[in-house]
Amino acid sequence: MKAIVDCNNFYCSCERLFQPHLDLEPVVVLSNNDGCIVSRSDEAKLLGIPMAEPYFMAKPIINKHKVAVFSSNYHLYGDLSWRVMETLRQLVGARNVEVYSVDECFVELGHVPAHELREMALYLRHTIEQWTGIKVSIGVAPTKVLCKMANNWAKKNKQKTNCVVVLDTPERIQHVLHRTPVKDIWGVGRQYAKKLVDTWGIYDAFQLSRMSEAFAHKQLGGVVGVRLIKELNAIPAKDLEEELVNKRMIATTRMFGTPVSTISDIKEAIATYTSRAAEKLRRQYCAAKGLSIFVVTKDQSHQQNFRQTGTISKHIMLPTATSATNELIKPAVQLVDDLFEQGQVYKKAGVMLSHIVPDSSIQGNLFVTEHKNGERKLMDMIDNINFSQRDDILKFASSGTTRDWKMRQEHRSPRYTTRWEELFEIS
């Protein structure tokens, strides 16, 4: 048996943890640049505030009902996420935990006797809340897909289920399958859900589970569809996966706080994002040979459907793989000259590093001075200083000083757990 542990309205829960007076009040958290609503408390959902609604469109109802609004505080959310996952690792063992996202993880419970599954799930739930302050819902089932269904059922019926649902019998599995629309099945996208309903009259998970594997292979994406049918029938097809320690591609992208139209601002942003990507690269003791940058033009139409805007990108292969920030910034900034268009307005930019190899595979160069071969030590020293002092106290001049293009966070709460100067105070 497996379980999925899902933090309830995670971003809102993180904000409420340090502001308990908001526990029964409507709360929303905004996306990057205070653009859209990405997390809602149950009270905000009852007010009819849609998920992913642009903030400016939701403002009337937010102001009317005095909804608490927060900008995304990723330092706080990331740290509290780590605490939840670390709690689970201590309770069930690190090998039995697969972190799926910032607020979800799968847990292997095959070692727990069947009659103790619910008691175990309740123990995990209460311990996580006691140790971290974050409330979670837990779904237990034979497969990952059924775990997701059990978890959704637990969240929809919190008072009856106590936020824990265990699907340990065929009868309980069928009960949930009958009550799960195809659009709510994990792994079934919007287009597939519409096709299943309109073309074959398949409305719920139970009907889909009765379909053959041949049907799934032909109509639901080949092997992926076959796995889905197996999982719906309580046949495990997706095992817990080990955490990917070394990434094969590293990206840093951000929306600008205000639209940008000058090449100097674009270069500052690209240099800053390159520095951040290089730090991530060094953290996994690797170097990169491929470098890409992109910018996204601002949508001028302001239409209600928010049409997709144009993305312009450039790519280069470096002579040798490197993790030195200065050796990555120079070509990245040069690429800006090739893609920048005078008179155009941009709203986003990003940097991607690819063709990543281990540091140990890079040979020293006999034809350069010794200090050139030792730049990794210099980079490590800069990383250590920045980590201990925070806020990029050491940075390359090309990253700029004022950074007027930085992401807007007008409603960000303090970073209570990761900054000494912003620690929560009790008076």
**Residues 1-8: what's their mean pLDDT?**
94
Residue 303 shares a structural domain with residue 204: no
Instruction: For residue 298, tell me if it sits in a domain.
Output: yes
pLDDT at 384: 86
Query: Do 214 and 350 sit in the same domain of this protein?
Result: no
Confidence of residue 306 (pLDDT cuts 50, 70, 90): very low
Q: Alpha helix (H) ranges present in 93-180?
A: 117-132, 144-156, 158-161, 170-178
| Residues 261, 192 share a domain | no
198 and 278 assigned to the same domain: no
Q: Are residues 266 and 207 part of one domain?
A: no
Q: Using the structure block, give the residue that is written with the tokens 């991530």.
A: 280
> How far from 326 is each of 147, 250, 305, 322, 370, CA to CA, in Å?
47, 17, 41, 10, 17
385 backbone dihedrals φ, ψ, rounded to 5°:
-65, -45
223-232, 250-259, 276-285: least confident range: 250-259
Residue 42 lies in a domain: no
Per the structure, the complete domain to which residue 319 belongs is given by: 250-399
For residues 83-107, give the mean pLDDT. Answer: 93
For residues 380 and 347, state if they share a domain. yes
Per the CB < 8 A criterion, the answer to whether 338 and 296 are in contact is: no
Tell me the per-residue pLDDT of 40-51, one tens digit each, with 9 for 90 and over: 999 999 999 999
The predicted-structure confidence for 327-346, as pLDDT tens digits, reads as follows 999 999 999 998 888 888 88
| pTM recorded for the entire structure | 0.81
Q: Is residue 79 part of a domain?
A: no
Query: Which segment of 99-113, 134-148, 247-261, 388-402 scores lowest on mean pLDDT?
Result: 388-402
In this predicted structure, the answer to whether residue 302 has a pLDDT above a threshold of 50 is no
pLDDT of residue 121 exceeding 90: yes
Same domain for 200 and 284? no
DSSP string, 42-107: HHHHHTTPPTT-BHHHHHHHHHHTT-EEE---HHHHHHHHHHHHHHHHHHH-GGGEEEEETTEEEE
What pLDDT is recorded for position 38?
92
**Does residue 138 sit in the same domain as residue 199?**
yes
Compute the distance between CA of residue 199 and CA of residue 187 in angstroms, rounded to an integer: 19
Domain containing 132 — which CATH number? 1.10.150.20
Residue 362 DSSP label: P
Helix axes 263-283 and 375-389, enclosed angle (nearest 10): 100
